[in-house]
Structure 1
């Protein structure tokens, strides 16, 4: 049977060769770079490929075409290794779909030595507080973690991130927020780049907690963005530098649209730049939010547009739940002579408890309706006892 198979295989290759337009390939000369195929090796490879394809289809949920494609990258002739890899994943709570995804992305994982190469990495992550469900999701999204060196890359990278964040729980959250950060080499270079520019540890911790994927940018591109933000006047040592860096990632069309909106209120390029330097989030709010906030202060309270952009943090506050209710209180206080103007920035930025004590309680004797008004504006059935105290 084997002899018949080899003979048919030989005849097939001979047929392919004889169809070529160059007869010189039929009998390679001794000095030719072409060699006659080793049919024993070819036969074994095809058999292994057939076994691998069947295994991937029957044990890993692959479709035949996908299994055939994966078999270009991994071959095995017995089920022991792949069985042990799959069993290890299942012992950590991986679902069949997650196992399929990991193998589809990195087929060679199936011929790993699970106890030597996979288990230590899974144990390291769980030792840092990664739950089984988080672990399965993390490896599903970035199976390259299992191919990186534990001692030379994963541990040093985790420690580097944790040195800034100073909380293993939040470091894990950062990694889950941007799963490539644990395996990317650029994150190290970009952190060093930002540190060298004078970005504070606290700012880097903020970046890692909220926008860790910024560190995955090509270092040259990140440096270009950093230079642009610095040119606008944002100091790398200030807390607003990282949000400014994030804001500059807005598509140019969106950035330009917001600039035009600000200009429609009579603001100049310098007004807009100064607002951005003070509070970069003023360029991250939606066009609708920016327009509604400026119109509220201008039409309802008589401010000039530049008064709003002089305190651009106002554009980040909730219009319905904070600005409108507090402005209503200030209006009554001003009408009763308690305050001279509604332009109290502090009134809009302090905590709820502090606002109640400083403004609502302060004017309740002159304007008894303040409590009722504020409760209605805030949509509160009763006034919180903490506020009343």
Structure 2
């Protein structure tokens, strides 16, 4: 009887059963013979494997692995789970992505395990499409306890962001927020170390994933910045923390060395970082290109950039160069005092720049400045595209 069941020409042997037989798992011979039935038999132990392969396009290897995380012998339960997600706005593509990461969902009670989490987010102002984006971005949150994990984390984030709208926006940007093991202890540690409210707010609003590191690692970074002279009670500390965590120690030191190569001292670099910590996120190449244009092309002192390190975050080709050409023309023509701030033209909006430095002059002068500015912008666009394509 067993030989008949295992005969390779027997049409009753399913594709999945052949795979199981060829896999050299430490199953007993007796178990292998009992699983070699057709996949159409819903009571076969290999039914879950077939379901993953046929309904969700899993590979044989992935299906075998996923089948160990589910408990169903008929299609009733998994079909109901797929139907649940479809009725809540998820596409088949969304569902496949979710199940591949969290296959256990196919055998869970969605009404008790998943629906309450959807309802909680919807009650806070999230739309159906918001919920879909959050779940697809981080399906693991559906495994977390609503009362013991999701709600406490949500409330903690809202405590700093002060609105459900901002909290939902941050969760959409970083869905891992809702089930992070590190968020709460890290936020509490920062608060205990004097990191101000506005710094924590900025981190949660812009790059909350940065503080998804181990408590000891973040605590050491906070202490390191404090030892460098950064005041945690100041609003810039949050940006400094983002920059320090976002760069390895070697890259952080490389940035400092790059600035120093342009004549800045260690103290000067720290002064610039305190004014705008995000300057450290500019690449070495970007720093060198901005410095080279400012110092070598425009013959302006690099010390100006110590007071305006935010310049390293602007596009050289589409912002700095076009505006610099206008300011250079105005200085050359005596239309702008040399004592006037050299930095302010670069920080204002496009509208204010045109009003204050182009259109405010007589018609002939304004017309020339506008042509100059537009020509430099056009050239800058082309240059920027060339850089992106190279």
Q: What's the TM-score bracket when you normalise by the shorter of the two chains?
A: 0.7 to 0.9
Alpha-carbon separation, structure 1, partners of 2:294 and 2:59: 61
Q: Contact between 1:279 and 1:313, CA under 8 Å: does it hold in 2? A: yes
TM-score when scaled to structure 2? 0.77
Matched, 1:251 2:248: yes
Q: CA deviation at 1:133?
A: 4.0
Q: CA deviation at 1:171?
A: 2.1
* Corresponding position of 2:102: 106
Q: Contact between 1:73 and 1:107, CA under 8 Å: does it hold in 2? A: yes
The structure 2 residue matched to 1:351, chosen from 343, 349, 352, is 349
* Corresponding position of 1:181: 177
Q: Contact between 1:285 and 1:315, CA under 8 Å: does it hold in 2? A: yes
**CA displacement, residues 297-336 of structure 1 (integer Å, 9 cap, x when unaligned):** 2234432223322332232333334333333333343344
The structure 2 residue matched to 1:160, chosen from 136, 156, 163, is 156
Alpha-carbon separation, structure 2, partners of 1:357 and 1:104: 55
The alignment of Structure 1 onto Structure 2 pairs a total of residues equal to 344
* Corresponding position of 2:140: 144
* Corresponding position of 1:190: 186
With 225-234 and 323-332 compared, the bigger mean Cα shift is at 323-332
Alpha-carbon separation, structure 2, partners of 1:352 and 1:65: 56
Q: CA deviation at 1:121?
A: 1.4
Q: Which runs of 5+ in 1 are unaligned?
A: 6-36, 382-389
Q: Contact between 1:232 and 1:277, CA under 8 Å: does it hold in 2? A: no
Q: CA deviation at 1:145?
A: 1.6
Alpha-carbon separation, structure 1, partners of 2:76 and 2:223: 55
**CA displacement, residues 212-231 of structure 1 (integer Å, 9 cap, x when unaligned):** 10221111111111112222
The structure 2 residue matched to 1:276, chosen from 273, 280, 289, is 273
Q: CA deviation at 1:187?
A: 0.7
Counterparts in 2 of 1:49-60, with a 5 A limit? 49-60=45-56
Q: Contact between 1:186 and 1:217, CA under 8 Å: does it hold in 2? A: yes
* Corresponding position of 2:92: 96
With 272-281 and 194-203 compared, the bigger mean Cα shift is at 194-203
Say if 1:244 and 1:58 are closer, same or farther in 2 by CA, change over 3 A: same
Counterparts in 2 of 1:1-389, with a 5 A limit? 49-248=45-244, 249-341=246-338, 343-360=341-358, 364-365=361-362, 368-379=364-375
Q: CA deviation at 1:275?
A: 1.3
Q: Contact between 1:332 and 1:370, CA under 8 Å: does it hold in 2? A: no
Q: CA deviation at 1:127?
A: 3.4
Say if 1:369 and 1:183 are closer, same or farther in 2 by CA, change over 3 A: same
Q: Contact between 2:345 and 2:353, CA under 8 Å: does it hold in 1? A: yes
Alpha-carbon separation, structure 1, partners of 2:343 and 2:234: 22
Q: CA deviation at 1:48?
A: 5.2
Say if 1:299 and 1:182 are closer, same or farther in 2 by CA, change over 3 A: same
Q: CA deviation at 1:207?
A: 0.9
Runs of 4+ in 1 over 6 A off after TM superposition: none
Q: CA deviation at 1:375?
A: 4.2
Alpha-carbon separation, structure 2, partners of 1:335 and 1:86: 70
TM-score when scaled to structure 1? 0.77
**CA displacement, residues 147-170 of structure 1 (integer Å, 9 cap, x when unaligned):** 112222212222222232234333
Q: CA deviation at 1:200?
A: 2.7
Say if 1:74 and 1:329 are closer, same or farther in 2 by CA, change over 3 A: closer
With 327-336 and 221-230 compared, the bigger mean Cα shift is at 327-336
Q: Which runs of 5+ in 2 are unaligned?
A: 6-27, 38-42, 379-390
